[in-house]
């Protein structure tokens, strides 16, 4: 009953203008609310001509919705009244709960405990309220009722929602519903996204979030809803201190912002970095059909804006529509001889509305055109308003292709812009903004057309991994050493170099001779994670003397650098053949689970930061896309005649790791670095590995 209540009680209604309790009641009245309003105030007889009630129990019926605007310490007692009379929907506007500290948190927990025992759903506390234009509900103190439209909006910030509402009202943007979720003690972003997804009046879901409560459920629900309705979110709070220092390269590079980017990509959510961008996108998604593909036709009365649009189309990876011969012939017959009938179509500076309408009508019927962008500059002869009306007619008559407008100027195009907005044609203050919106719509269409996600499961030795993981957890050891990390990888189908641990120089030389030269030597200590940082890695050792000298030097120097480290010896292992070094990794996000990483390997991974992340479990296509998303990919496929590596085998490695960390949630961090890969037919080698585990 939050969105269409037949009766509303306002507990804390006030007679004093400017107080929240007055403004919410006044806003409900001004909105033309058609249900019953019950102001609750034990010190007033009437407010704004409405009878006041001393408490909820004195009302003659059960209100569908109760709005509470009282000091935080009183709210639990009001919730008990709600439970007693049987109200099932409550909005708590009041602040002073968990946002102010521990005492407020206890109050909030008490409120929700009462609500859950009574089956009451709660929006808030510490929120702006709820607005439903179609039902004349303005249960908020955020401003006047906005226009009715197709955008469902949710916000974790009440103040930001008030600003959004003011911006929308000044630009004629309409909404189906607006909800401020505040502390989201009960109703949260997932509840609202699901509700908006089922709401026939909502065509696009938009919002502002600072965090997401239930990561896994959110991803699953948002991914499902995105197939039917676009979700446009602003997300703040991702560039602060970031993740705490982590043992692995992956852990040090994966922060909360990285996780959200991966979540949004998986779920098809369109990330917006400003209110303006969000409204730019939302207007188009809410009012225009989706483009079939990425071919854009531009109609303009000035060369400059046409060139700006052309640059943006190329920059954003769209295509200039190649008009058919028939289209260009018709344009040539109906436009002045000096007009350009190629895309962008220039109808010339003296074009009246009829020329625009003619060009629009011809171009919209071209099978090579997926989207139409109309640019207009207000020159002396320009009929801005009539041109906008022509666009509206074209858009309404044949709604299979989206229309976009960029009428440049101010006073001379103000009336025309009003016509565009009233008719659902998105208007932009620059050609670039319009083209970026088209790009977002094209990306969304591509996401919806992606193949059904199928995650391949490989034959593995889970028991082997269980034994190693359980042993470490039983002993309270978080870090799994290199040898046992490689045993885990081998159990999941990876190939690792042969080698053994030596406690003396003679043992090291003997192992090296058995393996065959050249060999690699690494310091062996549970306390040294980044071996190369302390001189603990030597490669290309060609004979026994080299091995013994390297052993003695490590044992002399490293204890001086790390006197607290427990050094057990050295790992001597075969030296792998040549190939490209990449890194495969995973960091487990506390909200969203395992984040897979791919990038350039070796010691440069944290310097170059050329990495990509994606949520596990991975499909084959997602694993491959992780490679494509890095600059490393250009090196891997081969440049200037150099033979490329086996891309599919790298992608398979990511999928195998994805299966490992999905099946073993105890694994918190993991790196394979370097993972040496070569051309097709060459077995990739997991040269070095580290993992960490925790009890779950």
pLDDT in tens, 221-234: 999 999 999 999 99
> Can you read off the two tokens belonging to residue 88?
């099932």
Q: What is the domain-level CATH number for residue 551? A: 3.30.1490.20
Q: In whole angstroms, what is the distance from residue 19 CA to residue 61 CA?
A: 27
Domain boundary among 574, 589, 618: 574
Question: CATH no. for residue 685?
Answer: 3.30.470.20
Specify if 224 maps to a domain: no
Structural domain total, the chain: 3
Residues 312, 346, single domain; the answer is yes
H or E element that contains 209: strand 204-209
Position 245 scores a pLDDT of 36
* Distance (Å, whole) CA 31 – CA 51: 19
Same domain, 585 and 558: no
CA distances from 366 to 270, 291, 312, 337 (A): 29, 14, 22, 21
Q: Do 325 and 419 belong together in one domain?
A: yes
DSSP annotation of 534 reads G
First to last CA, the chain: 39
Query: Does 300 fall in a domain?
Result: yes
User: Of 448, 483, 506, which one is at a domain's C-terminal end?
Assistant: 448
Instruction: Confirm whether pTM is higher than 0.85.
Output: yes
pLDDT the model gives residue 602: 65
Alpha helices (runs of H) in 140-237, residue ranges in sequence order = 158-171, 189-198, 215-226
pLDDT under 50 in the chain at which residues? 239-252, 254
Last residue in a domain, options 559, 574, 589: 574
* Inside any domain, residue 568: yes
Within a domain: residue 54?
A: no
For the chain, what is the largest distance between any 2 Cα atoms, rounded to a whole number of angstroms?
A: 100
Q: Verify that 343 and 388 share a domain, yes or no.
A: yes
Question: Residue 364 maps to which CATH number?
Answer: 3.40.50.261
Instruction: Mark whether 520 and 596 lie in a shared domain.
Output: no
According to the model, what pLDDT value does residue 607 have?
A: 59
- 177 located within any domain: no
Domain extent, residue 663, equals 580-693
Same domain for 358 and 310: yes
pLDDT at 644: 85
Statement to judge: residues 334 and 384 lie in one domain: yes
> Is residue 300 domain-shared with residue 355, that is, in the same domain?
yes
Q: Let me know whether 566 and 586 are in one domain.
A: no
In this predicted structure, what is the pLDDT of residue 590?
87
Can you give the pLDDT at residue 152?
A: 97
What is the predicted pLDDT for the residue at 250? 43
Question: What pLDDT digit, counting tens, does each position of 1-28 carry?
Answer: 899 999 999 999 999 999 999 999 999 9
44 is a domain residue: no
- Res 252: pLDDT: 46
Indicate whether 514 and 395 sit together in one domain.
Answer: no
Q: What angle do CA 289, 293, 299 make, to 5 degrees?
A: 75
| Same structural domain, 549 and 646 | no
Residues 400 and 441 in one domain: yes
């Amino acid at each position: 009953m939050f969105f269409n209540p037949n009766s509303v009680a306002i507990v804390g209604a006030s007679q004093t203008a400017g107080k929240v309790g007055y403004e919410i009641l006044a806003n409900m009245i001004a909105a033309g609310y058609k249900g019953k309003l019950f102001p609750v105030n034990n010190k007033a007889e009437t407010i704004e001509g409405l009878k006041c009630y001393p408490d909820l129990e004195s009302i003659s019926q059960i209100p569908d919705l109760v709005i509470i605007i009282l000091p935080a310490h009183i709210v639990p007692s009001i919730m008990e009244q709600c439970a007693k009379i049987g109200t099932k929907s409550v909005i708590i506007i009041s602040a002073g709960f968990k946002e102010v500290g521990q005492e407020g948190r206890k109050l909030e927990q008490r409120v929700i405990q009462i609500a859950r025992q009574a089956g009451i759903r709660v929006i808030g506390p510490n929120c702006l309220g709820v607005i439903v234009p179609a039902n004349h509900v303005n249960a908020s103190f955020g401003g006047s009722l906005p226009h009715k439209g197709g955008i469902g909006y949710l916000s974790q910030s009440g103040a930001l929602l008030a600003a959004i509402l003011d911006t929308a009202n000044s630009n004629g943007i309409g909404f189906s519903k607006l909800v401020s979720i505040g502390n989201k003690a009960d109703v949260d972003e997932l509840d609202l996204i699901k509700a908006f997804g089922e709401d026939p009046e909502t065509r696009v879901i938009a919002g502002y979030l600072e965090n997401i409560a239930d990561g896994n459920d959110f991803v699953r629900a948002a991914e499902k809803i995105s197939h039917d309705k676009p979700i446009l979110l602003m997300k703040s709070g991702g560039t602060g201190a970031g993740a705490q220092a982590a043992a692995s390269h992956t852990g040090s590079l994966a922060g909360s912002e990285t996780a959200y980017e991966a979540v949004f990509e998986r779920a098809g959510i369109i990330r917006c970095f400003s209110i303006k961008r969000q409204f730019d996108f939302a207007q188009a998604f809410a009012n225009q059909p989706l483009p079939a593909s990425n071919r854009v036709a531009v109609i303009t009365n000035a060369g400059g804006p046409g060139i700006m649009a052309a640059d943006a189309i190329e920059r954003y990876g769209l295509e200039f529509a190649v008009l058919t011969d028939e289209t260009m012939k018709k344009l040539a017959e109906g436009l002045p001889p000096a007009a350009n009938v190629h895309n962008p179509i220039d109808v010339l500076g003296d074009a009246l509305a009829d020329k625009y309408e003619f060009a629009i009508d011809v171009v919209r019927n071209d099978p090579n055109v997926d989207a139409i962008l109309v640019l207009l500059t207000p020159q002396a002869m320009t009929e801005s308003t009539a041109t906008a009306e022509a666009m509206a007619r074209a858009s309404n008559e044949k709604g299979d292709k989206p229309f976009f407008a960029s009428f440049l100027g101010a006073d001379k195009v103000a009336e025309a812009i009003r016509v565009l907005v009233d008719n659902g044609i998105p208007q932009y203050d620059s050609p670039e903004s319009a083209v970026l919106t088209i790009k977002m719509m094209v990306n969304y269409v591509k996401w919806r057309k992606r193949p059904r996600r199928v995650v391949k499961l490989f034959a593995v030795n889970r028991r082997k991994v269980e034994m190693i993981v359980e042993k470490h957890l039983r002993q309270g050891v978080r870090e799994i050493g290199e040898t046992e990390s490689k045993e885990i990888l081998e159990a999941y189908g990876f190939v690792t170099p042969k080698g053994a641990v030596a406690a003396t120089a003679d043992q090291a030389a003997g192992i090296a001779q058995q393996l065959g030269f050249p060999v690699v030597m690494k310091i062996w200590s549970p306390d040294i994670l980044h071996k190369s940082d302390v001189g603990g890695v030597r490669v290309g050792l060609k004979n026994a003397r080299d091995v013994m000298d390297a052993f003695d030097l490590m044992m002399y120097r490293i204890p001086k650098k790390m006197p607290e480290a427990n050094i057990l010896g050295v790992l001597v292992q075969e030296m792998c053949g040549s190939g490209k070094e990449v890194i495969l990794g995973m960091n487990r996000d506390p909200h969203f689970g395992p984040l897979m990483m791919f990038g350039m390997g070796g010691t440069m991974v944290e310097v170059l930061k050329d990495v990509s992340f994606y949520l596990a479990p991975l499909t084959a296509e997602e694993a491959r896309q992780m490679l494509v998303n890095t600059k490393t990919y250009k090196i891997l496929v081969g440049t200037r005649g150099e033979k490329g590596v086996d891309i599919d085998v790298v992608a398979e490695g990511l999928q195998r790791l994805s299966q490992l960390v999905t099946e073993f949630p105890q694994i918190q961090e993991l790196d394979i670095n370097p993972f040496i890969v070569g051309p097709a037919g060459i077995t990739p080698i997991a040269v070095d590995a580290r993992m960490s585990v925790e009890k779950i």
